[in-house]
Amino acid sequence: MNQDELSHALSALPGWTGSPSAIERTVACESFMGAIGLVNRVAEAAEEANHHPDMEIRWREVTFRLSTHSEGGVVTEQDLALARVINSLAP
Ligand SMILES: C[C@H](O)[C@H](O)[C@H]1CNC2=NC(N)=NC(=O)C2=N1
């Protein structure tokens, strides 16, 4: 996916930024346990999709980073699809 295609996709993904190599979003949750709950919901969805984000937890904030490793670390439709799911699960 080139930059133009990515920019178009990101315009429909509130909160997400990135480049053709990876996209990311940081979600601020109400509490640390709220962040853990979000991570668990995303983990379930990732298992379901067999596509897994990097997840970094910093107190109440969780940063999700998506890239398709099997394609050499580029953003694919699988990443965009999971980003949409994460947006549906985020508070
Ligand atoms: C064998 C297994 O299906 C693959 O390794 C899946 C697992 N989850 C994955 N997640 C991500 N982000 N990229 C992949 O290429 C990927 N591949």
Per-residue pLDDT tens digits for 6-60: 999 999 999 999 999 999 999 999 999 999 999 999 999 999 999 999 999 999 9
- For residue 34, what pLDDT is reported? 98
**Environment class of 17 (CB within 10 Å of its CB; exposed 0-12, middle 13-18, buried 19+):** exposed
Find out whether the beta carbon of 68 lies less than 6 Å from any atom of ligand 1: yes
User: pTM here?
Assistant: 0.96
Find out whether the beta carbon of 69 lies less than 6 Å from any atom of ligand 1: yes
Q: Whose CA is nearest to atom 8 of ligand 1?
A: 51
Q: Which atom of ligand 1 is nearest to the CA of 82?
A: 12
Q: Whose CA is nearest to atom 9 of ligand 1?
A: 51
- For residue 46, what pLDDT is reported? 98
Q: Which atom of ligand 1 is nearest to the CA of 66?
A: 12
Contacts of 86 by beta carbon, 8 Å cutoff, 6+ apart: 25, 27, 42, 45, 53, 64
- For residue 24, what pLDDT is reported? 98
- For residue 84, what pLDDT is reported? 98
Domain enclosing residue 24, as ranges: 3-89
CATH number of the domain at 85, please.
Answer: 3.30.1360.20
Domain tally, the chain? 1
The confidence band for 89, taking pLDDT boundaries of 50, 70 and 90, is: very high
Find out whether the beta carbon of 50 lies less than 6 Å from any atom of ligand 1: yes
